[in-house]
Every structure is written in C-alpha cells, then in structure tokens.
C-alpha cells in the first residue's frame, strides 16, 4: 500500500477549508436518509371447505376485504366429500385469487361425496376427523415450507367482519391467538376449561369474556375455528395436528389433538375480545343436514348485518333465493326515509332469507307540526301518561301510530286477507321463515279465528302463564304486551282497529293494541274504546327481537327521542332512563308459557349456554 505524503494531506485539508468537498467525503452535518419500512409479515390463509356453497360467497368476501397487502398473503385451499357446488365455486374464486395473492395452492377431491362411516354430512366419524387432521397438517407444512411468518386458520363458515383482524392479532405478539367470534348464543371459538380427558369444562370465566364484561387477551386452554399462529416462534415448530402427540390418548378430534400439542410444546393459547372481529354459527347436531346448515348460516349473515355492511364476493356466483311472501298477501316493512342504514340492512337480511318486502315510508314524527296534527284531527287520549316516565304522548309515537295506521288502511282498501308487518329495527331468530310458515299452516288447518298475531313483542304480564292454543304449535293467547316489532294482521283485524277511530283519542300504538283485545291494565283507558274484541295471539317462543335495547351501543329510538305532541319546544329522551324499551323482564318459572312444538331457547344472551 502506498504511503500518503504530507503534500496530499495538505491538499485535502485545504479543500475542506475552502468548502470544496471531495466526492468520497460525507459531512457529519448532512442528514442521513431514513431506512424504508419493513414489508408486512407473510401470511398463509388455510381454507378447508366441505358442503360450503351456502357460506363461501360471504366467507370469501370477508377474506377479500381484509386490510392486508394481498401480495403478502398466500392461499391454501382444500375441498372434498361434497354433495353441493363447493368445488366449482372455490375453483372459480381461486382462478381470480392467483392473480392478486402471492401464491395459491389448490387441493380438490371430487370423489367420494361422503365418508363410508358417516350418518350424514354433519356427522363426524373417526375417518372424517382423521382426514381433516391430515389436511390441517398439510396446510401447516405448506406454510412452513413457503417460509410464511404466520398461518391463519379460518373455518369456511366463519365471517371475519373486522377487516383489521390480521394486524390486530399480530399486535398481540403471542404465538397462538384467536379473535373471539360471536354467535346468536354464548357459543364461541374458545374454552376456558378442559376436563382431564380433554373435553369441554364449564367455568365461571367463560361468560364474562364472551359478554365483554372483561376485556383483553386471555390465556385459555382451547381455541378453534379461527386462530392465528406465529410460525417465527421457535416453539411453533413442535405444534402438529397429525399425527397426534405420542402421549395423546383422548378422543380423535382435531381441535383437542392440536390443543394437547400446544400444551406439550409449552405454547399458550389466547383469545382476544378487545374488539368485535366476526361471527360463526352454532354447531348443528349429527343428524342434521346441509339444508339445516344453510338456514343456520343465513341467520349468521343476518346477525352480522346488524352492525356490518357485508357483501358476498363478486368473484363467486351464487344463485339468489327466489323471494316470496310466505303465507301472506304482503310483507310490509316500515322504514323512515332518513334511516337508510336500517332499510339497507333489512332488505339485505330479508333477501338472504328469501323474503319479499314491500316498503312503507314511515311518518316522521320529528317532521310533524301542530297544524298537521290538527288537520288530521289528532287528539290525545284524556289523562294519558307514559307509565314509566309520566310524560305525555310524543310526536315520535304519533308518527309510529300513523305509520301502522296507514298499513291498516291499505289492508282494508286492497282487501288483503292477511299481511305481516315488520319494523326496521328487528333481529330474526334462527329458521324464522320455516317456523313462522309452520305456525301459519297450523292456523289454517285448525281454522283458528284470529285478528292479530304478535311475532315479536315485550310481554308485560309476567305473573301468570298465557293460555296455549289447542291444535296450533307454538301459539298462545296474547296478554298485555308492548312493542309492535312484528305482527300478522288479518283483514278483519284491520277493520276492527280502524272502526274505533283512534285519531280522536290517541295513545302509543303498542298501548292501543292490548286495549283492543281487552288486556290493558288501565280500565280508564279501555273505557274510551268499544268494542274491544280483537282476537290476539302471540307466537311462543318469539321469532324476532329488537336489534338493540335501551342503553346498548347503537340504540336509537325515533319514538321516544322526540318532542311532546302539543309543544314542539319540549324535547323528550326519557326512554334512556326508563324501562319501556329495555329488554324483556325475567318471567318467573310459574308464569312461563307452555306450548307444544319446536321451542328453542329465547334469544336473550344470558339464557343460552355456551355449547
């Protein structure tokens, strides 16, 4: 190496003093450019689908809407033992997916369409568990071989409605984490306890987590259906679905085998409920079929639509259900024009159930003025006071009454024999359509003389049971009730409601109806209406409920939050402190209605079990 002479050093120093900087010299004061951000971790999403034609459009739509770079996502998909169009639908979607996702692996198997030892498509014999464990292991192996950082398992009937779910779970910085999935019951995708044999064990920890009374990310012994595994963790290399761990001697079940594998590897499972992440259906019984599964998933869609505007994938064709009116001449849906969100949700929900709705523009009580009320001849029932707040009638309640009244007039003018009336803030119970059709068929068969049938209500008389109707399953004679969420109405019933000219003695419509079937506790109110011979019944158990109750997030009332009827300056918002719009009160065991027929438990969360 040549020695640097003194003359050369002086030349460099002189250049520095003069402000001339040679190309190879970097001034300390010059700002260094920041490093570029890291690319997001690579994720493989594992899709295992069997007889999933009913769920794939919405399931894949949720996958597409994940807020995560698709070029950092690989798709691993397998399907087999199908009796429906699952294979063709998944193939159709994957053809498009391979153009936008980093990598797609496709494992279809056309034959056979069933397992030799299964009773039906919902039965899980040992051969099916064995096959599914091998498939899940194959997906795990593919993720490892492709150097994926994470693998996300999502059952093909789970709807990830939160598009940020991947980033949210990664941020927990644990090896194995599940987002808490919601259902119509307490059922979810985690356990808080296991027996020595690895089966589910009831614990007091489960319900507070499921009902968001405790928020966080909780260590649990079991997660399933949807969960994220961090493959960068050294301990993850020991996790396996198949073959089972050498020390495993319990039931041959994929989730139990994997949970045991995690415990043996020292990997803690977690479930997070910090946010709302998505929905899953309640498991069916072994003897049920694909049609039952389809109806169950339709209900999962309807639950998801309450808070999320989910759409099916545009890249999968699924023939729409042909809508009908069930056994009714019309199904009327009452909706305020300014409540576009409710209208959109209800129309999507009803379309998913194959129901045709005729929209009725509700009368907006907030837009009513004194001169309009006078022109209609509206006068309040003398001495009427709200039983909870003591207030007088609100303009919102007048608007609600006028909306229902317009339908009663329409029924009479068009000579409609029977109609179904729905408000736009309802949530449907599972198998709503089939169950209501069965009740109406029983009514026709027995030639029951009826005017009005509550389909959704708040039962106010809770001291004594209501009388069941002989020969008609799931029907009782209605006692004092609140709410007009949904009811069936006959032509004769509409004529009776109009005949008493209620505009001149108006009170809330859900107080008016029990007066008309002579079941209101206030005798003074009833004295203003003759005759009170409306023949009223109620389905039991109810087939729909409000989407929200007083005090819950998202609760809005257009009847209670208004102004009083004769003074636009006096605002009302009393329902937030009083119980009219609160959830159904506890009905004592001695007052429980007894009916024949299909009687699944009611929708109130606390009354359901987690399994």
Q: Which two tokens stand for residue 425?
A: 């803030």
Is the confidence at residue 12, as pLDDT, over 80? Answer: no
Mean predicted confidence (pLDDT) in 31-60: 96
Is the confidence at residue 480, as pLDDT, over 70? Answer: yes
> How far separated are the first and last CA of the chain, in Å rounded?
80
Task: Give the three-state DSSP class for 263.
Answer: helix
CB 514 within 8 A of CB 499: no
Is the confidence at residue 9, as pLDDT, over 60? Answer: no
**Secondary-structure breakdown of the chain: helix, strand, coil percentages, each rounded to the nearest 5:** 30, 20, 50
Of all residues in the chain, the percent with pLDDT exceeding 70 is 86
- Tell me which DSSP letter residue 468 carries: B
d(Cα 2, Cα 364) in Å, to the nearest integer? 94
Q: What does each C-alpha distance from 406 to 14, 363, 400, 412, 462 come to in angstroms?
A: 97, 9, 10, 10, 31
Least confident of 118-127, 435-444, 591-600: 591-600
pLDDT tier at 204, thresholds 50, 70, 90: very high
Is the confidence at residue 262, as pLDDT, over 80? Answer: yes
Tens-digit pLDDT profile for residues 438-456: 999 999 999 999 999 999 9
**Residue 401 CB-density burial (10 A; 0-12 exposed, 13-18 middle, 19+ buried):** buried
Is the confidence at residue 22, as pLDDT, over 80? Answer: no
pLDDT tier at 13, thresholds 50, 70, 90: very low
Torsion angle of C-alpha atoms 57, 59, 61, 64, degrees rounded to 10: -140
Is the confidence at residue 29, as pLDDT, over 70? Answer: no
Place of tokens 């409710």: 342
d(Cα 255, Cα 453) in Å, to the nearest integer? 45
pLDDT tier at 554, thresholds 50, 70, 90: low
CB 112 within 8 A of CB 81: yes
More confident residue, 8 or 495: 495
Question: 120: Cβ–Cβ under 8 A, 6 or more apart, which residues?
Answer: 286, 287, 288, 289
CB 461 within 8 A of CB 479: yes
Tens-digit pLDDT profile for residues 361-373: 999 988 888 888 8
Q: What pLDDT, on the 0 to 100 scale, is given for residue 610?
A: 38
- Tell me which DSSP letter residue 83 carries: S
Cα–chain-centroid distance for residue 288? 22
Q: What pLDDT, on the 0 to 100 scale, is given for residue 601?
A: 41
pLDDT tier at 128, thresholds 50, 70, 90: very high
Q: What pLDDT, on the 0 to 100 scale, is given for residue 170?
A: 98
């Amino acid at each position: 190496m040549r020695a640097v002479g003194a003359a050369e050093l002086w030349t460099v120093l002189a250049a520095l003093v003069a402000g001339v900087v040679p190309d190879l010299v970097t001034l300390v004061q010059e700002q260094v450019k920041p490093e570029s951000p890291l690319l997001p971790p690579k994720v493989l999403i594992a899709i295992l689908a069997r007889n999933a034609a009913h769920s794939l459009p919405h399931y894949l739509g949720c996958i597409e809407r994940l807020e995560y770079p698709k070029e950092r996502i690989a798709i691993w998909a397998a399907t087999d033992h199908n009796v429906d169009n699952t294979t063709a639908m998944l193939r159709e979607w994957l053809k498009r997916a391979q153009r936008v996702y980093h990598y797609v692996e496709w494992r279809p198997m056309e034959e056979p369409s069933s397992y030799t030892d299964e009773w039906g498509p919902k039965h899980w014999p040992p051969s099916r568990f064995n096959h599914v464990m091998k498939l899940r292991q194959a997906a795990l192996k593919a993720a490892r071989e492709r150097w994926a950082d994470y693998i996300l398992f999502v059952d093909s009937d789970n709807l990830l409605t939160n598009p940020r779910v991947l980033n949210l779970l990664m941020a927990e910085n644990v090896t194995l984490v599940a987002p808490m999935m919601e259902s119509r019951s307490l059922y979810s995708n985690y356990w808080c306890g296991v027996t020595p044999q690895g089966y589910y064990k009831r614990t007091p920890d489960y319900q507070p987590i499921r009902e968001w009374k405790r928020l966080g990310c909780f260590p649990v012994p079991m997660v399933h259906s949807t969960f994220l595994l961090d493959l960068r963790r050294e301990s993850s290399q020991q996790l396996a679905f198949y073959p089972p761990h050498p020390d495993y001697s319990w039931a041959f079940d994929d989730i139990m085998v994997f949970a045991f594998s995690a415990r043996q590897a020292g990997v803690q499972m977690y479930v997070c409920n910090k946010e709302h992440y998505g929905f899953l259906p309640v498991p069916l019984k072994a003897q049920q079929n694909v049609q039952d599964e389809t109806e169950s998933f339709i209900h999962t869609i309807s639950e998801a639509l309450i808070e999320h505007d989910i759409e099916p994938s545009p890249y999968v064709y699924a023939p729409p259900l042909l809508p009908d009116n069930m056994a009714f001449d019309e199904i009327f849906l009452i909706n305020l024009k300014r409540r576009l969100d409710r209208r959109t949700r209800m129309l999507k929900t009803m379309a998913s159930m194959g129901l045709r709705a005729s929209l009725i523009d509700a009368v907006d009580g907030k837009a009513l003025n004194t001169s309009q009320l006078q022109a209609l001849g509206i006068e309040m029932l003398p001495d009427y006071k709200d039983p909870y707040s003591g207030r007088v009638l609100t303009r919102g309640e007048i608007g609600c009454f006028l909306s229902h009244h317009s339908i009663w007039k329409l029924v009479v003018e068009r000579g409609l024999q029977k109609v179904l009336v729905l408000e736009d803030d309802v949530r449907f119970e599972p198998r709503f359509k089939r169950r209501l059709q069965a009740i109406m068929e029983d009514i026709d068969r027995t030639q029951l003389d009826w005017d009005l049938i509550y389909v959704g209500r708040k039962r106010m008389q809770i001291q004594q049971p209501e009388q069941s109707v002989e020969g008609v399953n799931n029907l009782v004679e209605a006692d004092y009730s609140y709410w007009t969420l949904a009811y069936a109405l006959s032509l004769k019933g509409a004529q009776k409601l109009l005949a008493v000219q209620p505009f001149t003695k108006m009170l809330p419509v859900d107080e008016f109806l029990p007066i008309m079937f002579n079941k209101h506790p206030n005798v003074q109110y009833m004295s203003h209406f003759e005759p009170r011979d409306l023949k009223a019944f109620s389905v039991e158990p109810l087939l729909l409920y409000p989407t929200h109750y007083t005090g819950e997030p998202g609760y809005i009332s257009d009847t209670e939050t208004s102004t009083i009827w004769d003074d636009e300056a006096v605002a009302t918002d009393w329902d937030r402190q009083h119980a009219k719009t609160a959830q159904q009160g506890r009905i004592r065991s001695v007052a429980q209605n007894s009916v024949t027929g299909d009687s699944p438990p009611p929708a109130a969360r606390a009354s359901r079990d987690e399994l």
